[in-house]
C-alpha cells in the first residue's frame, strides 16, 4: 500500500492506494500518528484504495475516536466495494463519508 500525506495548516490529507489489510494497517496507523493535536481536520482519500479488512477498520475506528476529540475526520472517494463493507459493519453511521 502507498500512503501519501500532505499537511496544510491544521488539515492533514492522507491518500491511500492499494489494500488496507492486516499487513498494511500498521503502516497507516503509524502515518496517522502524525496527526498531532494541531490537526483539526483529517481527510482520508480512498480514491486508490481497493480493499479494507477488519484490521483496517480498527485503525479507522481508533482514528475517528481520536479526531472526535480534536476536530473531524472525513473519508473521500470511497469505491462501492468499500462502501458496502462500511454498510455491513455499521461504519456508515460512525464515519463521515463524502
Helix (H, G, I), strand (E, B) or coil at 98: coil
What's residue 28's pLDDT?
Answer: 95
Helix (H, G, I), strand (E, B) or coil at 62: helix
- The pTM for the full model equals 0.94
Total structural domains within the chain: 1
pLDDT at 34 over 90: no
Cα gap 73→96, rounded to integer Å: 7
Structural domain including 65 reads 2-97
Q: What is the mean pLDDT of residues 8-22?
A: 96
pLDDT, tens digit, for every residue of 44-96? Answer: 999 999 999 999 999 999 999 999 999 999 999 999 999 999 999 999 999 99
Q: The CATH number of the domain where 62 resides is what?
A: 3.30.750.24
pLDDT, tens digit, for every residue of 35-51? Answer: 778 899 999 999 999 99
pLDDT at 33 over 90: no
Amino acid at each position: 500500500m502507498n500512503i501519501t500525506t500532505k499537511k496544510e495548516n491544521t488539515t492533514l490529507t492522507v491518500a491511500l492506494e492499494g489494500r488496507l489489510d492486516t499487513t498494511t494497517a500498521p503502516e497507516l496507523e503509524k502515518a496517522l500518528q502524525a496527526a498531532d493535536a494541531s490537526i483539526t481536520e483529517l481527510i482520508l482519500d480512498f480514491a486508490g484504495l481497493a480493499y479494507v479488512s477488519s484490521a483496517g477498520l480498527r485503525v479507522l475506528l481508533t482514528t475517528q475516536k481520536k479526531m472526535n476529540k480534536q476536530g473531524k475526520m472525513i473519508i473521500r472517494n470511497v469505491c462501492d466495494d468499500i462502501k458496502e463493507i462500511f454498510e455491513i459493519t455499521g461504519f456508515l453511521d460512525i464515519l463521515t463519508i463524502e
